[in-house]
Structure 1
Amino acid sequence: MTLEVIAFNIESCALIEKAGGGRIELCANPPEGGTTVSMGMMKAARKAVGIPIFPIIRPRGGDFLYNDEEYTIIQDDIRLAKETGMDGVVIGLLNVDGTVDKIRTARLVELAYPMEVTFHRAFDRTPDPLQALEDVIQCGCNRILTSGLADTALQGLDMLQQLVKAADQRIIILPGSGIRSGNISQLATATGLQEFHTSARTTRFSRMSYENPGMQESQNSFTVDPAEITACIEALSGAGHLQL
């Protein structure tokens, strides 16, 4: 069993590994759902932990329809991820009609090799998930991060079960969104899956002693809750899904 946890800062990377997380999805910019971190952040994360690190390769927030300039940025960032010793990358490209951009996705998988490739929750924006599943498999991706086309993985449980059956072990289905220690065992039992994705998110309050009262933008940030990571692992273990 593998518990993948999102890290939005370098502090989180060490906390995830120490708490027992099995893989890190490295992201910047949580308010927009995660964008690519800097090369410096990739280097620092690689020095900080020994567990696998998969940076998201997403040049901006918003939709997953990228122009030629953005596609070039994605390619360059995948090369940087490889150079800095990342174990995999997380990508997602769609056509204007919401279908998987198979041509460019397949090229990125080839570029990323030998790193693994996860197709992220752009998958949850597709109009035909079973066809999208076949498309992502054809592109050569290793896994799909999905909530079953719902706001949370628990709400999308029926679709997740359909995807697991249709995948037939040809690709890893990685459920994510809203997964916490209180529901992870239920999802494991209902799907039979071996990998799970969680943010285990908590607020990191600013330590600044002075804040300009005329500025409304918060200086707080996100980090991970090590106790929540441990609780997720214990929930899986207690239900017989994970042997520690």
Structure 2
Amino acid sequence: MAKNANQSSNMKLEIACFNLDSALIAQENGADRVELCAGIDIGGVTPNFGTVKQARKNLSIDLYVMIRPRGGNFVYTDEEFQQIQADIVALKQLNVDGFVFGILKEDQTINYEQNKVLVELAKPFPCTFHRAFDEVENAFEALEDIITCGFKTILTSGQKTNVSEGMHRLEELVSKADNRITIMPGGGLRSTNIKTIQQNTKAIFYHSSAITDGSETANAIEIQTLKSNLQ
């Protein structure tokens, strides 16, 4: 019983932020971490370095930065891979707390070699493998590859359009991960479904944009409600 009580008190919430306002709203309303990105319409890309600097100056909570040179698929050219590496090196200097990225091969398997290079390059900062995971053919094989690469977290909707549809797969992933890596449900996660997702998956870290009005900015009350529903 003690373990469950302890588990509920350790629940954490990451807010995907597409502008500085969202990052500040996230911090003020109880979020544990910000994932900073740009390009909301294409699922998130590397943010402007100026925005990262401003966010770092104003945030005391953890700041993770998405590294993704463009929208579209997750298979990159040599030039794009060089760009990803350069961005990680530059952003390490800005005192961020972690990175979010993911590279696949043409056959929708994990590009082990390239991801491993990036995880090593990012050290000592932890890395999250983002929702490119939801496009892989074999989720459990991919899980093992990502763990071996050295990632600390996988952001996933359970390979479905959203976390509600992917709930069973999320539950399987949390179980198979067995505390070797954090499985973070995200994608359509809202205050209205987070309790159900938590009760079924037993995940401990959750991810939402907390955008409720079609804008690009997080909603303060939604963040508060997401967080309170994790207690």
TM-score, normalised on structure 2? 0.94
Asked if the contact 2:168/2:201 (under 8 Å) is kept, the reply is no
The C-alpha deviation readout for 1:17-75, integer Å capped at 9, x for no partner, is 00000000101010000000111111010011110011110000000000000000100
Structure 1 unmatched ranges of 5 or more: 205-220, 238-244
8 Å contact from structure 1 (residues 29, 35) kept in 2: yes
Question: Are positions 1:24 and 2:24 aligned together?
Answer: no
In structure 2, the partner of 1:188 is 198
1:231 aligns with 2:225: yes
Determine the C-alpha separation between the residues in 1 that align with 2:173 and 2:23: 30
Unaligned residue ranges in structure 2 (runs of 5+): 1-10
Tell me which stretches of 4 or more aligned residues in structure 1 moved more than 6 Å: none
Q: CA RMSD in A?
A: 1.0
1:170 aligns with 2:159: no
Aligned length: 221
Q: Which has the higher contact order (CA 8 A, sep 6+)?
A: 2
CA distance in structure 1 between the partners assigned to 2:140 and 2:165 by the alignment: 18
Instruction: Give the equivalent residue in structure 2 for 1:39.
Output: 49
Q: Distance in 2 between matches of 1:83 and 1:97?
A: 34
Q: Does residue 1:62 correspond to 2:72, yes or no? A: yes
The higher radius of gyration belongs to 1
Equivalent AA in structure 2 for residue 236 of structure 1 = L
Per the alignment, residue 8 of structure 2 pairs with: none
Give per-residue Cα distances to partners, 1:72-99, cap 9 Å, x unaligned: 0100111122110110000010000000
Q: Which residue of 1 aligns with 2:216?
A: 222
Take 1:14 and 1:91, find their aligned partners in 2: how far apart are those partners?
23
1:81 aligns with 2:91: yes
Q: Report deviation, 1:203.
A: 4.4
- Structure 2 distance, partners of 1:236, 1:172, is 16
Distance 1:235 1:143 in 2: 22
CA contact (8 A) 2:212 2:222 kept: no
Give 1:117's match in structure 2, choosing from 101, 124, 127: 127
Shift in Å at residue 128 of structure 1?
A: 0.3
